[in-house]
Amino acid sequence: MTITRNLQLAFRFVLNVSRFNAVWLHHIQPLTLVIPSDHPLRRRLIRRMRQHTRVIAAFFGPAIFDLFDEPMSNDQRRLLGIIGSCIPAFDMCFDDNLIGIGRLKSLVQQPFDFKPESGTEQLAAVLYSSLVQGVCQPNLLRSLTDTMFETEEKSRLQLSDETDFDTIRNITCKKGGTGGLFFTVTLPRQLSVAEQQAFYLLGSWVQLVDDLFDLRDDVLNGIRTPVTDCRDITTLSLLLARWQEKAFDAVGSLALPTPNKQRFLAGFILYGKMAHRYLLQVGQQIGKEPLRNFAKVSIAEAEPSGAWKTLFD
């Protein structure tokens, strides 16, 4: 029964990827033509925007609408795709100075009066103003964007050995939790406090899992996360299980039909199994050594292997 359900999940996901790929091709990719062909970040930006539109938005968006029994219109799918494409672009503004932070704040504060001074600013202005005009909850969009600014600015603390663990944990929670809520701004309903908290906790856990998959790169780049700060595999395994349980319990306690909640969590359960499989892979590489020693393995050895087997676990 579990294998059948997992295969159905995989089929639905592939179908959604196809639909969101159409969003990318027809509504977002043409807008990237304003970025000069010789821009040093152009290829990486477009690659990451495409990936987040086709995969991240295709995973979160339909799951959220299905949870609330809300039919998704083509326009809502377009907006979800734009949100997905904006996430990596926003990150690159802080990590790679794609757009100056001062300019980015001006755009968010006055999206319709902003005067772009470059191709990247023009792209950002079109995408963000489309969201402000189109989403059902523009005030929530602005609030979440402000929180993302706050969190990204604090993320510099992740480069310091003097930052305490609670601060590192809070940065991860806020980064992932806010990201988990971004896709809800397209819903034609306001979330209750309990629903907001559930999405926040779920997004935090997803971010923690992402940090697991980024373990090698983060250690090499001197970036601290709750994952890199764990002493060993056992400690990390307990941390992942605790965050997952807290998030899943929050979703399970929502005043929504049980079948909806079960369908919604099914994809995340599969993601949790993928994380567990990768954790075992890390353990095979370093044994009981400190997690930071994972930086010594090769890029090929650090790549997740056999993720497809999760469908049959």
Query: Per residue in 50-109, pLDDT tens?
Result: 999 999 999 999 999 999 999 999 999 999 999 999 998 888 888 888 888 889 899 999
pLDDT (0 to 100) of residue 135 = 94
Q: What percent of the chain clears pLDDT 90, i.e. is strictly above it? A: 81
- Amino acid identity of 129? S
Say what the pTM is.
Answer: 0.92
pLDDT (0 to 100) of residue 217 = 95
pLDDT (0 to 100) of residue 95 = 81
pLDDT, one tens digit per residue, over 130-181 is: 999 999 999 999 999 999 888 988 999 999 999 999 999 999 999 999 998 9
Mean pLDDT (the chain, rounded): 92
pLDDT (0 to 100) of residue 92 = 87
